[in-house]
């Protein structure tokens, strides 16, 4: 079987890498891919939002399954176009992808079907939003309604910071149509957690939990990013808490969507806050997380194509997942200045030597090939994923590899999985 992966980040490299291990696979294509994916798949340039061109390619190359990685093609309805032409696709349709594409829609579903989440108010007018902010206490949580590449969430410690955030969305249009409406949300406190699961619209098959690091700098300082690292499993999540999340969050969400006439087929990702009163949903994503995927898939013993095909066919019943006992730590190497302005085009040195270290896989994110070299092409450049018997060993391996890799202005957090190791 030939498989097509749509996307070009670290998540897609991890997916292509895992898919390529399946004995069912006879070739992997990736659109657009990156410098690392090109080593294991044939990469092509086609507009990721051009549903017809993508479907034409799948027909031309006799693609047996298409896996949609990023959120934007899902929200644009690429999965719908494939399904209409009888092509197997892994990823929710446009209506289901609203769960990520609109925070307002997600909040509607959670409130209607009793899924624990933060209290929130919706605004489309700056003055009304600013007035509301003055009536509540800091810290403030401001979220753009639509897709903003992981940068549309603001945790403001002061009233002025919060007003700047809503001004950027509602007045200055920094996020375009994605920021035409904002949610001002109750601030929740506690450890964050990511739980991902396969769904066929009826059944839910959860994966091992992971923890993500959103802030740019050590000790959770700096701006929110798309993610600066992750680890799996999460020591604070015992079997009882895990089951609670599945039964109180994941299953009710899929069942609630079904009650709305929406069949959710793909990955459902719950970003959670473990508060003193129990787990509460911060956000839903309609796809594999990035960089959580890079910490989860190295631990997966099962053939990933089995649940993917089952989801595409609409029947996950009987499918099970097997996991390694090893833990995994993933550290993101980013361009200096990210998530703000940054320069690209810098050669990345040391990749071959780093790749030889046992238990470590380097997933490319913002890279491209140039004259026989790999150069930077994005904010998040590489993901260094290391397995270990415990988090101390996994961290040691990951940071040893990082010591061998270099590109100009390289930036990374030094505290990924440090809390887990200390436990």
In the chain, what are the helix, strand and coil shares in percent, each to the nearest 5? 35, 30, 40
Mean pLDDT for 222-247 is: 95
What does DSSP assign to residue 297?
A: G
Structure tokens given for 410: 């390289």
Asked whether residue 281 carries a pLDDT value surpassing 80, the answer given is yes
Alpha-carbon gap, residue 211 to 231, rounded angstroms: 5
Question: How do residues 295-323 score in pLDDT, each as one tens digit?
Answer: 999 999 999 999 999 999 999 999 999 99
Fold of 120-185: Dna Ligase; domain 1 (3.30.1490)
pLDDT of residue 191: 92
pLDDT of residue 49: 86
Asked whether residue 209 carries a pLDDT value surpassing 80, the answer given is yes
Fold of 2-93: Rossmann fold (3.40.50)
- Domain range list for the chain: 2-93, 120-185, 190-313, 327-422
What is the pLDDT of the chain when averaged over all its residues? Answer: 96
Partners of 4 in beta bridges: 29, 66
Identify the band that residue 148 occupies on the pLDDT scale cut at 50, 70 and 90. Answer: confident
Angle at which helices 103-112 and 251-259 cross, to 10°: 100
pLDDT of residue 39: 96
Where b means 16+ CB within 10 Å and e means fewer, 121-159 reads bebeebeebbeebeeeeeebbbbbbbbbebbbbbbbeee
pTM passes above 0.85? yes
Q: Is the peptide bond before 291 cis (omega within 30 degrees of 0)?
A: yes
Structure tokens given for 229: 């690292």
Assess if CATH 3.40.50.300 describes domain 327-422. no
Alpha-carbon gap, residue 98 to 92, rounded angstroms: 9
Fold of 190-313: D-amino Acid Aminotransferase; Chain A, domain 1 (3.30.470)
Q: Which of 4-8, 92-96, 211-215 has the lowest mean pLDDT?
A: 211-215
Q: Which of 363, 67, 61, 86 lies closest to 230 in space, CA to CA? A: 363
Residue of 388 and 352 predicted with greater confidence? 388
Same fold, 2-93 and 190-313: no
Q: Which of 309, 332, 345 lies closest to 411 in space, CA to CA? A: 332
Mean pLDDT for 179-204 is: 95
Identify the band that residue 254 occupies on the pLDDT scale cut at 50, 70 and 90. Answer: very high
Asked whether residue 423 carries a pLDDT value surpassing 90, the answer given is no
Residue 423 has a CB neighbour count (10 Å cut-off) of 9
Contact 314, 386 (CB under 8 A): no
Question: How do residues 376-385 score in pLDDT, each as one tens digit?
Answer: 999 999 999 9
Asked whether residue 223 carries a pLDDT value surpassing 90, the answer given is no
pLDDT of residue 356: 84
């Amino acid at each position: 079987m030939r498989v097509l992966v749509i996307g070009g980040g670290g998540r897609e490299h991890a997916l292509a890498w895992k898919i390529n291990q399946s004995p069912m696979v006879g070739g992997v294509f990736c659109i657009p891919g990156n410098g690392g994916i090109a080593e294991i798949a044939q990469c092509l340039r086609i507009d990721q939002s051009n549903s017809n061109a993508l479907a034409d390619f799948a027909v031309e190359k006799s693609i047996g399954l298409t896996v949609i990685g990023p959120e934007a093609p899902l929200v644009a309805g690429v999965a719908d176009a494939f399904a209409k032409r009888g092509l197997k696709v892994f990823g929710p349709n446009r209506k289901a992808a609203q769960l990520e594409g609109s925070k307002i829609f997600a909040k509607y579903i959670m409130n209607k079907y009793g899924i624990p989440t933060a209290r929130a108010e919706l605004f489309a007018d700056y003055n009304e939003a600013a007035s509301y902010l003055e009536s509540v206490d800091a810290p403030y949580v401001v979220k753009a309604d639509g897709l903003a590449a992981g940068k549309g969430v603001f945790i403001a410690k002061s009233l002025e910071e919060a007003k700047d955030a809503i001004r950027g969305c509602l007045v200055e249009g920094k996020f375009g149509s994605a920021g035409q409406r904002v949610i001002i949300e109750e601030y929740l406190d506690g450890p964050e957690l990511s739980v991902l699961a396969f769904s066929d619209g009826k059944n839910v098959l959860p994966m091992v939990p992971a923890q993500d690091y959103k802030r740019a700098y050590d000790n959770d300082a700096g701006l929110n990013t798309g993610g600066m690292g992750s680890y799996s499993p999460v020591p604070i999540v015992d079997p009882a808490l895990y089951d609670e999340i599945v039964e109180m969050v994941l299953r009710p969400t899929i069942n609630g969507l079904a009650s709305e006439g929406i069949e959710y087929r793909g990955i459902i990702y719950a970003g959670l806050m473990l508060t003193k009163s129990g787990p509460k949903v911060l956000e839903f994503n309609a796809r594999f997380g990035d960089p959580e995927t890079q910490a989860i898939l190295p631990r997966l013993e099962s053939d990933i194509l089995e649940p993917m095909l089952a989801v595409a066919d609409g029947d996950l019943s009987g499918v099970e997942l097997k996991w390694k006992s090893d833990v995994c730590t993933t550290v993101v190497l980013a361009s200096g200045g990210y998530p703000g302005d940054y320069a690209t085009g810098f050669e990345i040195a040391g990749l071959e030597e780093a790749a030889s270290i046992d238990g470590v896989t380097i997933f490319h994110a913002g890279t491209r090939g140039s004259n026989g070299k790999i150069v930077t092409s994005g904010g998040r450049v590489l993901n260094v994923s290391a397995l270990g018997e415990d988090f101390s060993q996994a961290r040691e391996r990951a940071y040893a590899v990082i010591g061998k890799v270099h590109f100009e202005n390289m930036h990374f957090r030094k505290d990924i999985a440090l809390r887990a190791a200390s436990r």
